[in-house]
Each structure stands twice: as structure tokens, then as C-alpha cells.
Amino acid sequence: MHGFPAKPTTFKPGGYYANETQCPCCGSTLPASDQLRVHALSQYAIRRQRRAYLTKTELRILQELRVATMPLDARRLAERVYFDDPAGGPDNYNSIKCTLSKLRKKLAPLGVRIEGYCLVQT
């Protein structure tokens, strides 16, 4: 075999998805066609055959929102997004808020909203 798991049950950083996933906010089951998929190397998100190209920071924010088990605030999100920045990231959280605003606009056509700091698929 190829070393891939037969039926993965959760999102894994390498890009393996289950046939069904749970919404991180409400816990309802989403069919495979409704999953938001993120391709980190190509820097885009895809859902329902629609694609949104992302900047590196938008991609990192989206990945953090996808794996969050509870809504994040701007400080925690900045800590997670800029964890490997030698300078520690920006001095204030306005850059996170600005990038999040741009990300919301890019994800809207895919049927994905970010309410506060929580990812919601409609």
C-alpha cells in the first residue's frame, strides 16, 4: 500500500480528510462535498468547486481557525499565527483584524463565514 490511512477520521496537516467532518462550532456532520479543504502548498481554499487564493498569513489564520476547539480572541490568534516569527509578530493586533477582514471577503463566495474568531460553514 501507499502508507496512507484507510479511513482517516479527522483533518491532518498532510491534507487527508474523512468522508464526513464535524462543524467546529455546532458539531453537526458535514458531507464531503461541503468540506472546506485547504491546500497549503498552493495557498488556496476550496469548497463546492469554488476556490479562494490566500496569502501566507490568511492561510495560517484559516488553518488555526479550522483546528481551534473553541473561539479564539485576537491575542491568541496572533500568538498561534506568528509563533515562529523571531520578532514575535506585530506589536498590536490590528494586522490580524485587517487580515481577518480580507479573509472573510475571500471566503464568503465559498459559503464560509468567520463570526468573531470562529469558522462557520453555511
Residue 24 clears pLDDT 70, i.e. is over it: no
Coil, strand or helix: which one is 77? helix
pLDDT tens-digit series, residues 70-104: 878 888 898 888 888 888 788 788 888 999 999 99
Domains of the chain: 20-121 (1.10.10.10)
* pLDDT tier for residue 61 given thresholds of 50, 70 and 90: very high
Q: What pLDDT does 25 receive? A: 65
Alpha-carbon dihedral of residues 32, 110, 45, 21, nearest 10 degrees?
-30
Determine the Cα–Cα distance for residues 108 and 94; give it in Å rounded to an integer. 21
Residue 27 clears pLDDT 60, i.e. is over it: yes
pTM summary value: 0.71
1 or 103: whose pLDDT is higher? 103
Determine the Cα–Cα distance for residues 84 and 89; give it in Å rounded to an integer. 9
* Closest to 90 in 3D by CA, of 64, 102, 119, 99: 99
Give the side-chain half-sphere CA count within 13 A for 57: 16
Coil, strand or helix: which one is 50? strand
Q: What pLDDT does 67 receive? A: 85
Q: Are 49 and 94 in contact (CB under 8 A)?
A: no
Q: What pLDDT does 120 receive? A: 82
95 or 25: whose pLDDT is higher? 95
Q: In the structure grid, which three cell numbers stand for residue 77, read together? A: 490568534
